[in-house]
Amino acid sequence: QALKENYSGKQYTSARLRTLNQGDWKYGRVEVRAKLPAGTGTWPAIWMLPTDWVYGGWPNSGEIDIMEHVGYEPGAIHGTVHTQAYNHTNGTQVGAVTGVPDFDTNYHVYALEWTPLQIRVYVDNNHYFTFNNQNQGWQTWPFDQRFHLILNIAIGGDWGGAQGVDDSIFPVKMYIDYVRVYQNSASAPTINMLNPAPGTNFQPGETIQIDVESNDTDGTVQKVELFQGEAKIGQDDVSPYEFSIDNAYSGCYELKAVATDNDGYVTATDPVGITVGSGCGKSPYGIQPEPIPGIIEMENYDMGGAGVSYNDNDVANQGNAFRVGEGVDIEVASDIGSGYNIGFIESGEWVEYLVDVEYSGSHSVISRVASETGGGSFVIEMDGEVVAGPIT
């Protein structure tokens, strides 16, 4: 409950229950049957925070809000997630709202279903919010670690107190009938890269054959994906899982295979290093030059490092979302599911891509560019010659 009383220089006291180090879970279903308090200034919540904070402080390691209700919007129940890429401090938080008119007079079941692929939020088995794993790293999906449960009534605060606090409502209580947590006993798939062996050397232009073995003892393997570094370069949904990479370009690469089963559980192989040619110089991120005609994803700029494949005015990757050990500032695009973009762009910065133009003639270039401020421009060069721009 929450009371209006002076305590340590504050006007109100309120209660919180949490399961930290007593109940910590990864995946499953959480149900809380509760009757909520009413009144302007109340902010009851049923939510989860990370136990181990593997990816850093809030919001990097995530937050799952199963239920939030602010008293000045009676009956509006919110379900929300917070991540490094999606949170209210930068205006990108992701959530939904549903109506529960008798929130304060009847008990309702607020529930979360959490798998490796998806978060779903319910009220009385009414599914009203979904957040999918976009497979873009911890910045969008830190929900592969242990979380614990919190039940509390906050009074005031930035959101709950946005329209003040009605002091006539106290004391207020949130009634809890039960808390239940269910976990799936399913196991993750196994996966093994049969070939190439670590350290294998290929000749430039040679076809690289990759064979992967994957099994699931209590279900089915839904897909096996192949990655070079962080870039997905192939997918096979049917065993035997086989991949071929034609026209391999000189360079040093790291291959990784990732299996996903029907329950959403994921297992990855250790990276397998291979070499094409004799050195590790400038090379395409996806092993093959980017085909033209085609779509070039900007985050897949060439390997080779600063001054060779890119120039960035600061050493750190300010976007901190992809290829974080390099200086190009890659961030998660703000429109959900659209991948990454290069941001924090300053004058004089550039990136390069090795391409394979399939036929001669005229080619149209379409670029997806956005800026909060005007006045900037960029150019597109091929072999040192400007072929498009300045584009403003």
Write the DSSP string, 12-67: EEE-EEE-TTTSEESSEEEEEEEE---STTEEEEEEEEESS-TT-TTTTT-EEEEE
Residues 51, 328: Cα–Cα separation, whole Å: 32
Q: Are 175 and 107 in contact (CB under 8 A)?
A: yes
E strands of 124-279, at which residues? 126-132, 147-155, 175-182, 190-195, 201-202, 208-215, 221-228, 231-236, 241-245, 251-261, 266-268, 272-276
From 68, 225, 299, 331, the catalytic residue: 68
Using DSSP's 3-state secondary structure scheme, residue 259 falls into strand
Residues 147, 48: Cα–Cα separation, whole Å: 6
Q: How would you list the strands of the sheet with 241-245, edge to edge?
A: 190-195, 208-215, 241-245
**Half-sphere CA count of 14, side-chain side, radius 13 A:** 21
Confirm whether 254 is a catalytic residue: no
Bond into 142 cis (ω within 30) = no
Residues 348, 357: Cα–Cα separation, whole Å: 26
Bond into 291 cis (ω within 30) = no
Residues 376, 357: Cα–Cα separation, whole Å: 29
From 5, 31, 63, 381, the catalytic residue: 63
**CB under 8 Å to 275, separation ≥6 — which residues?**
199, 200, 201, 202, 251, 252, 253
Using DSSP's 3-state secondary structure scheme, residue 151 falls into strand
Q: Are 340 and 232 in contact (CB under 8 A)?
A: no
Using DSSP's 3-state secondary structure scheme, residue 299 falls into helix
Confirm whether 68 is a catalytic residue: yes
Q: Which residue has the tokens 């106290």?
A: 170
Active site residues: 63, 68
